[in-house]
Structure 1
Amino acid sequence: MICSTACQLSNRSMRRVALDSARKAALVAGVFYLVTFASSIPAVFLLEPVLDSPDYVVSAGDDTSVIWGSLLDLVNAFACVGTAVALFPVLKRHGEGLALGFVTSRLFEAAVIAVGVVSLLAVVSLRQAVASGANAEPLVGAGQALVVVRDWTFLLGPGTIPAINALLLGYLLFRARLVPRIIPILGLIGAPLLLMSATLTMFGSNTQVSVLSAVATLPIFLWELSLGLYLTFKGFKPVPVLTGQESGRVVSGGLG
């Protein structure tokens, strides 16, 4: 009788620890998701001076705006990695291969964003060199080329990889029922739309600023925003694997 009571207390304690750990992971991941919105959206407007001006290198420029926008893009990149790192300990219990794939895709997205940031900061350096008396003619072309590099990093990073993230994470969350299923469904619907839009843009049949791009991006936007809000304010649903009530079934490891 004493042993049975002790075992029950121990199990309750373990379930409480597991739930607390999952709640902390959900909160951190949710906050990081919201940070990606809070950083990436203002960055779009702050970077307009360099992205929309072919002669930025020889213009008066607005280096302060571009630098702040670049810093916000870096914050976005770190927050992308943060979401994956925070979620991995929970996700790996439901499919370690897919969870690792999600972490990898987030790291790749962050790396591509960082390349774009370096490109724009290099344009700022070129403009400052021209202002200091350097020969402007060759630097104008170099500046335009660096902006083109940034445009491609935006397409291949934030414009494409979120679809891969949605397929991996959305499937895991849908299967594990860690959040209301409507949330991952948004991601699973939006992923092929975003991939189609990005592919058409790569081949010149679409542009990054078009009605098609906006429509294709909307489900992914809603998926990430709703996931961030839900994880921040609600956390994961208490499924058996989180409460420690699973009965001898190994759910981590593999893709199944």
Structure 2
Amino acid sequence: MNDSQKTETNHVVGLFFQHVVPIQLRFRNEQETKHRIITSFVLSVQQQWLLVTAGHCIRDVRQNETSGWKLDRAFLIDSIGLQAKHDHPVPFDWEAALPSVPFRDEANDFGLLLIDDFTRRQLQANGVRAITEQAWDFEPGDAFAYLLVGAPSTLAQPDEPISRLTAVVAAVRRADQRPADLEETEAERWYGYVGHPEGLSDIDGMSGGPILGLRRNEAGELKYWLHAIQSAWHRPSRAIAACPMRPLGRFLSEVIDGVHEV
């Protein structure tokens, strides 16, 4: 890859990581300390900011705690985006963010955390942008490409005060039907096959990452939108299953309007 290609790649990664904010968690027990990185992104519903990740990531944190690991610190890594001004992570109160899994069916694999006003201002000051209704509720047509965005744990070096992450944007080839290697579910899912970026053999840690659709408008301008959230994959075949985002966004909007109680 020449310098021009590297510059273009870095620009694309920075563009999409304006929305993606990995969460770093530190767990302790009596003998050890361990870290975990969770991919999440910022969603705006009626101007309320939320962190969205995979529901099974929320469940995994709970399982860690019931297994004797205490979650004692959390940070938001907001420094990968195009407009980032500093690389210091934002302290994050995991419990105060009310981590929740809105659906009982685990195939509807959504996890949510609230973003308070102070944290929102910190994220905005470092160039983080929420994905708004314009990008999750209105799809302009068929995409010519799909991209999975996230921070794989295999390429992460969690540390304090600053973690080293590899930001990944991987091409996804859409599958017209469920790959045989993936479990059938009653919940609606979107399927595809993820590409193999250089140096990446495993996408563990990218659960909860956004899958973006790309299309050019009549003027030739590149537009992208939030299509789905990464949920599951089959490593040998590289088949993935994702949860469409529009139903979640509309459900949350109705919650805000008082149509549903949670």
Q: TM-score range by the shorter chain?
A: under 0.3
Q: Which has the larger radius of gyration?
A: 1
Q: Which has the higher contact order (CA 8 A, sep 6+)?
A: 1
Which has a greater percent of helix?
A: 1
Q: TM-score, normalised by structure 2?
A: 0.26
TM-score normalised over the length of structure 1: 0.27
